[in-house]
Structure 1
Amino acid sequence: MKLLFDLNALRPPRTGIGYYTQHLLQGLRARSDITDVRGWMGGDIYSGERLDELVRDQAPSGDPVLVPHSQALSLSQCLQRSAALQPLRTFFHRRSSRAVRAQSAKEGYVYHETNFAASRYAGPTVATIHDLSHRRHPEFHSKILVQHLDRELPRTFRRVNMVIADSHYTKQEIVDLYDVPEERVTTIHLGVDECFRPLSEVACRAVLSTLDLRQRAFVLSVGTLQPRKNLLRLVEAFAALPRELRREFPLVLIGARGWKTTELASTIAPFISAGEVVTPGYLSRNDLLKLFASAAVFAYPSLYEGFGLPVLEAMASGTAVLTSAASSLPEVSGGAAVEVDPWRIDAIEDGLRRLLTDASLRRQCIERGVAQASKFTWASTIEQTCAVYKKIC
């Protein structure tokens, strides 16, 4: 079996879809029943060792997490991040890949689009749809991006043989919103990277010292800084905690700058000055693993998720989790987290307070979380994905 991928999701900074693509490629390249894997990025074709090098490369973007009233982004950063340019990027990606798609179809490759919108392909095709937030919450996206996805996804559903959804929740969304036959949509959960695991205080000490943090004495939040992640309500809930609790457990926000962060930046400014909110800027993956394993609580009260992998990564790291009782998140957390109504600041505040003041509750969440996270492996994701390929060959 031979496979073809659009590799543009691997461009830095590597986000969730990029890591999904990376893990698929690494697992597929190691299988004996896969005879070749190739892909394109821009006008370049990657296969063999060159593909392996691209997959391994995780060069830092150098992008700050969030700095209130900071310097403007450079023009190149603005161009990279502008959702308004997505249709133009898609056009150039597809034009540059026409030849490799045409040749690969003739040679019998299965094309897997891991990033929503599939290009036209004259062979068996699979697409992974991670969420439908642009339909449920268009206010969280630019109008141009919503229009782009509204145009591209119906085409994708018509073009592909099978659709992969990250969760049962997302599968049902696809069936309900796009009238795709249920038998053409397969749920395949994501896996947790084995590097997410409990770590000793000694192993984490250097990173914590650099950030002036203490082991199990901070609240961690990781995710792209955008309204869908509900960070403004999280900060407001944190602000409602008693001052002594905020000082004992500062809030650490980590994530690439996303969409509509101005209000968040101005809200957290006084808490940064008081040392109660920390925005470390870019952290290497190695350092991030140590923060996951050192936090007292991981807070992820997102308004909408197609899966919510950071919840499992925190659980696998041995950290108690607060998350939303909304969208796919209860499916992922499996009762091992404190689940709250993400629209209610008082509910988020109550969940944080309970976890920070009740050591027994934290231990219970940690034990259940480690067990829950162990159910999600990339080996299983890859095995199930291969079964989809074989089904359409």
Structure 2
Amino acid sequence: MRIGIDARMYGPQARGLGRYVQKLVDNLTLIDQTNEYYIYLSPANWDAFQTDKPNFFKVLVRSHWYSLAEQLTFPIILFRSKLDLMHFPHFNVPLLYRKKFMVTIHDLIVSHYPDSRATTLPRWLYKLKLMAYHLVIKSAIICSAKIIAVSNFTRQDIERFYPQVADKIEVIYEGFEVEHQYSQQADLTKYQINKPYLLCVGAAYPHKNLYRLLQAWKLAQAELINRYQLVMVGHHDFFYNRLISEATEQKLLKNVIFTNYVKDGELPTLYKYSLAYVFPSYLEGFGLPAIEAQSYGTPILAANNSSLPEVLGNSALYFDPFDINDISHTLVKIIKKTELRDKLIGLGYQNCQQFNWQEMATKVRDIYQQLNN
């Protein structure tokens, strides 16, 4: 069977999506020596994927994701490969590709929050982009032979928007593995951390709800009396700089540290020595960072919506992400209650063990075989 995988997002440059693609492809090389795989890579990640397996073939694609070239030239490359099945690990399936394919849908965030604040484009151009998004994702979902949803929440979301595809959705959870060790002799002063701290890691897109987190943190200072810090890790792109600017104007930054980008290998140390990890998003398709934090013994505070209660179960302390007072109360509670933190650490260790990348890849491969039969 000739199977194609769109791996142009392979690697860390595409954040969570890149991690998913990388773990899928890497684990398929370990478990499948029978099918032929055509791995479509970009110039940026061509060297990142290396394998000596004779049934895996690299194919260079120069069209970037979400581009016009993706829609026009990528299908030509795919047709030339004469595939039996193509797997798109994201919704951006070329409209002109009409051979058998399957798609992974991670979330429908843009469908829920078509916010012009989530882009650097002019408003008119963003509206055009939104139209293209709706056209492409509808086509991907309707025309696919199978849809993988990364959580039951995402499955239900797809069914709500596209009820006619309910019978071809399969839920396969993302995986997890410890890739880096934390430092036993951590020097946190290089991040300007000099007090016990809470940690938040990720981008500053509007649905990540970081502005409301900062408002809640300011409110909590009345009880915390400047004895703790909130450490926010994320690349200072347009969205993060805007967040910092707006928060500065509103005087929300007392005892807040912005580290900018931190390498993957250094994150475990920040996880390990934090009092808790805060996940305030309005919507997450899976919530992998929380699982990673749990593996380093970090208690989790999480929004009580979308996929997070499903993925974290009873191993997290929840709050209403739309209620500043509730967020603030939960921040104070986790800081002041040592026994609660210890309990969540133990539950977190148990919870993260149920997610496995190789198991995920095996289930995906089984779907490949089902579609071939």
Specify if TM > 0.5.
yes
Matched, 1:262 2:242: yes
- The letter of the residue matching 1:112 is H
Partners of 2:102 and 2:222 lie apart in 1 by 51
Q: State the SS of the aligned residue for 1:314.
A: helix
Q: 2:4: which partner in 1?
A: 4
Partners of 1:210 and 1:43 lie apart in 2 by 34
Partners of 2:164 and 2:89 lie apart in 1 by 18
Q: Displacement, 1:11?
A: 6.8
Matched, 1:242 2:224: no
Q: 1:336: which partner in 2?
A: 315
Q: 1:171: which partner in 2?
A: 155
Q: Displacement, 1:13?
A: 2.7
Matched, 1:315 2:300: no
Q: Displacement, 1:341?
A: 0.6
Partners of 1:237 and 1:12 lie apart in 2 by 31
Q: State the SS of the aligned residue for 1:205.
A: coil
Q: State the SS of the aligned residue for 1:242.
A: helix
Contact 1:116 1:153 in 2 (8 A): yes
Partners of 1:205 and 1:253 lie apart in 2 by 18
Gaps of 5+ in 2: 52-63, 119-125
Contact 1:40 1:97 in 2 (8 A): no
> Aligned in 2, Cα 1:246/1:302: closer, same or farther, shift over 3 Å?
farther
Matched, 1:194 2:190: no
Q: Displacement, 1:3?
A: 2.5
Q: 1:157: which partner in 2?
A: 141
Partners of 2:319 and 2:38 lie apart in 1 by 43
> Aligned in 2, Cα 1:290/1:96: closer, same or farther, shift over 3 Å?
farther
> Aligned in 2, Cα 1:320/1:205: closer, same or farther, shift over 3 Å?
same
**TM-score (structure 1 length as normaliser):** 0.81
> Aligned in 2, Cα 1:261/1:347: closer, same or farther, shift over 3 Å?
farther
- The letter of the residue matching 1:281 is N
> Aligned in 2, Cα 1:388/1:132: closer, same or farther, shift over 3 Å?
same
Contact 2:215 2:252 in 1 (8 A): no
Partners of 1:285 and 1:147 lie apart in 2 by 35
Tell me which of 259, 269, 289 is aligned to 1:290: 269
Matched, 1:118 2:93: yes
- The letter of the residue matching 1:278 is I
Q: 1:213: which partner in 2?
A: 193
Partners of 1:281 and 1:260 lie apart in 2 by 9
Q: 1:385: which partner in 2?
A: 364
Equivalent runs, 1:218-229 vs 2, <5 Å? 218-229=197-208
Q: State the SS of the aligned residue for 2:111.
A: helix
Contact 1:102 1:122 in 2 (8 A): no
> Aligned in 2, Cα 1:144/1:362: closer, same or farther, shift over 3 Å?
farther
Partners of 1:246 and 1:229 lie apart in 2 by 27
Partners of 2:297 and 2:264 lie apart in 1 by 17
Q: Displacement, 1:29?
A: 1.5
Q: Displacement, 1:335?
A: 1.5
Percentage of matched positions with identical amino acids? 24
Q: 2:329: which partner in 1?
A: 350
> Aligned in 2, Cα 1:138/1:99: closer, same or farther, shift over 3 Å?
closer
Partners of 2:166 and 2:364 lie apart in 1 by 17
Contact 2:178 2:292 in 1 (8 A): no
Q: 2:122: which partner in 1?
A: none
- The letter of the residue matching 2:347 is R
Q: 1:19: which partner in 2?
A: 19
Q: Displacement, 1:212?
A: 3.5
